[in-house]
């Protein structure tokens, strides 16, 4: 079972030749909004790979650094880097304690990486994590199915908007980035 990361929404969509990844900007401490404009999307490999994270900020940045090291070690192969990170994350005594999840996206694919050792490639080209993830994913599935004229970025924006309207840990300050296929 996938671990539930609380207090954010990250959504990635592959649609019409584009891959977009977006997240809200809210950071909470318990039931208090600590900051409303956090950037949870990062660009790696000269903009060829995007990473979005949910969970503890310090843990997410530790994983982001490790993922970047794996990308460099495996010549920018995102899937291989993700698998190697997941192996380390599951077996390393320090990494095992980290509480975060990541979505990685390149022009070719989108992956969800978790601390349980999972590296999942969603079959419908839609990946979501965080407390508002199910809301965002549901909206994105419907939009992708019925609104072919929308871009991947449009679908991410609308999915995040639905999540922000329903999830108290998600706000409307979105950061969305796109990689062309």
Point out the residues that are catalytic.
Answer: 8
Q: DSSP code of 78? A: H
In which order are the strands placed within the sheet that holds 100-105? 41-44, 49-55, 100-105, 110-114, 119-120
C-alpha distance from residue 96 to each of 117, 150, 161 (Å): 10, 39, 32
Q: Taking the alpha carbons of 163, 9, 177, 113 in that order, is the dihedral positive or negative?
A: negative
- Cα 104 versus chain centre, distance: 6
Measure the CA–CA gap between 155 and 161, rounded to whole angstroms. 10
Q: H or E element: which one contains 162?
A: helix 152-166
Distance CA 14, CA 32 (A): 33
């Amino acid at each position: 079972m996938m671990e539930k990361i609380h207090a954010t929404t990250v959504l990635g969509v592959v649609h019409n030749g584009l891959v977009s990844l977006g997240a809200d900007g809210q950071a909470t401490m318990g039931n208090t909004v600590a900051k409303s404009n956090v950037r949870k999307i990062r660009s790696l490999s000269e903009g060829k790979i995007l990473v979005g994270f949910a969970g503890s900020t310090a843990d997410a940045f530790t994983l982001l650094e490790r993922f970047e090291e794996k990308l460099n070690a495996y010549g920018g192969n995102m899937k291989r880097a993700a698998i190697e990170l997941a192996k380390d994350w599951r077996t390393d005594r320090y990494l095992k304690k980290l509480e975060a999840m990541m979505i990685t996206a390149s022009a070719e694919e989108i992956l969800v990486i978790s601390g349980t050792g999972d590296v999942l490639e969603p079959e419908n080209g839609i990946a979501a994590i965080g407390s508002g993830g199910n809301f965002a994913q549901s909206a994105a599935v419907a939009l992708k199915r019925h609104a072919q004229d929308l871009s991947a970025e449009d679908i991410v924006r609308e999915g995040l908007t639905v999540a922000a309207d329903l999830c108290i840990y998600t706000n409307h300050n979105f950061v969305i980035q796109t990689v062309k296929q």
